[in-house]
């Protein structure tokens, strides 16, 4: 089988680096171009020493002529920039975006949440927001694959099966998420330089974080009731990982054991979702450097309420790993390709 030629735009950010570390292990992909701005002319090993033994191209500035012999483009860029690249795609190129450019189905919603006008609204209909375990089967007919955000991934995976099967109430949900600081990108060190980033916990985006938009958009597809939730993210003094704690009310007659059984049945054929026995305690350390999402359903002191714990590695399952999962589905590669490894 001939290899796909890939271009990675935004190759030196935390997500870009992680993506390259996985792609070099992918036996069906050849990394043809690495693109950047301030990093042009440098080697990717200048940013990640573990890649020094790999034969990889030097970083170049993106231009549309590079697309002539490309099969797939990965964009791990600041919000808005994948829209510009998308205008140059021919019909044979797949774009897999790890930012937010095609996550929202309405250009006006993008303007509301991201404070910039969407510059490729005509291409939104050619894109699919793809959480592989939920709607991955639909992505093959789309040219643009939009990968979910890291927080929404950790929240939607446990909640969608419960919404779909009417096991929980869809109002007054509390979603409390804590992430390693890599989730805020390389600029986090400068932004938090006076806030003791490495030894403190910081709430941010309180009440209005952008990921509210995609959580709401996706959950609405699985209920005809009005949804009401509060999502609050936090940065923690660790590099990677997300733990989301979700407080939610059960529908009448539903028990903790029924919830666990439904989640277990729903994900029984999925390689990367693991449902634990009741009241299991989990930590981000359980998923670091994996493409797994581990979910635990715990009792609360209130009979009709449960507490759901969900952990992922934000750079892999919440980013690069999910992108490769979508690639593997799109091109009929074995699903685990490049996603089982040892560091």
Whether the Cβ atoms of residue 274 and residue 255 lie closer than 8 Å to each other: no
- Name which of 241, 242, 247, 232 is nearest 298 in CA terms: 247
Region for 259 from its dihedrals, namely left if φ exceeds 0, alpha if ψ lies in -120 to 50, beta otherwise: alpha
Catalytic residue among 35, 147, 150, 293: 150
Rounded to whole angstroms, the Cα distance separating 211 from 79 reads 13
Rounded to whole angstroms, the Cα distance separating 246 from 252 reads 19
Provide the total of helices (H) and of strands (E) in the chain, helices listed first.
9, 14
Three state DSSP letters for 118-167: CCCHHHHHHEEECCHHHHHHHHHHCCEEECCCHHHHHHHHHHHHHHHCCC
Please confirm, yes or no, whether 150 is among the known catalytic residues.
yes
How does 135-164 read in b/e, with b if 16+ C-beta sit within 10 Å?
ebeebeebbbbbbbbbbbbbbbbbbbbbbe
CA 155 to chain centre: 11
**Residues marked as catalytic:** 150
């Amino acid at each position: 089988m001939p290899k796909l030629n890939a271009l990675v735009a935004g190759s030196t950010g935390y997500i870009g680096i992680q993506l390259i570390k996985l792609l070099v292990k992918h036996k069906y992909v050849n990394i043809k171009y690495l693109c950047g701005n301030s990093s042009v002319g440098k080697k990717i090993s200048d940013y990640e020493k573990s890649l020094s033994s790999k034969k990889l191209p030097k970083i170049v500035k993106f231009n549309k002529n590079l697309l002539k012999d490309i099969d797939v483009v990965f964009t791990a860029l600041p919000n808005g920039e994948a829209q510009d690249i998308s205008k140059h795609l021919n019909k044979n190129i797949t774009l897999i975006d790890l930012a937010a450019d095609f996550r929202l189905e309405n250009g006006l919603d993008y303007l509301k949440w991201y404070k910039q006008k969407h510059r490729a609204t005509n291409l939104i209909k050619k894109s699919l927001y793809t959480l592989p375990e939920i709607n991955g089967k639909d992505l093959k007919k789309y040219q643009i694959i939009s990968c979910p955000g890291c927080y929404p991934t950790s929240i939607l995976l446990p909640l969608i099966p419960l919404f779909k099967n009417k096991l929980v109430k869809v109002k007054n949900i509390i979603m409390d998420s804590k992430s390693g600081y890599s989730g805020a990108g390389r600029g986090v060190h400068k932004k938090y330089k006076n806030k003791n980033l490495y030894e403190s916990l910081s709430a941010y985006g309180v009440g209005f974080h952008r990921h509210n938009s995609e959580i709401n958009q996706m959950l609405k597809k699985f209920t005809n009731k009005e949804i009401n939730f509060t999502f609050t993210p936090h940065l923690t003094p660790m590099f990677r990982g997300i733990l989301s704690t979700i407080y939610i009310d059960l529908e009448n007659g539903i028990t903790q054991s029924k919830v666990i059984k439904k989640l277990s049945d729903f994900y029984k054929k999925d390689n990367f979702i693991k449902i634990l026995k009741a009241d299991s305690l989990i930590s981000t350390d359980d998923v670091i450097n994996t493409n797994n999402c581990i979910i635990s359903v715990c009792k609360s002191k209130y009979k009709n309420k449960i507490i759901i714990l969900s952990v992922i590695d934000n750079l892999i399952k919440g980013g690069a790993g999910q992108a490769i999962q979508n690639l593997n589905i799109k091109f009929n590669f074995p699903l685990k390709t490049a996603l089982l490894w040892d560091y």
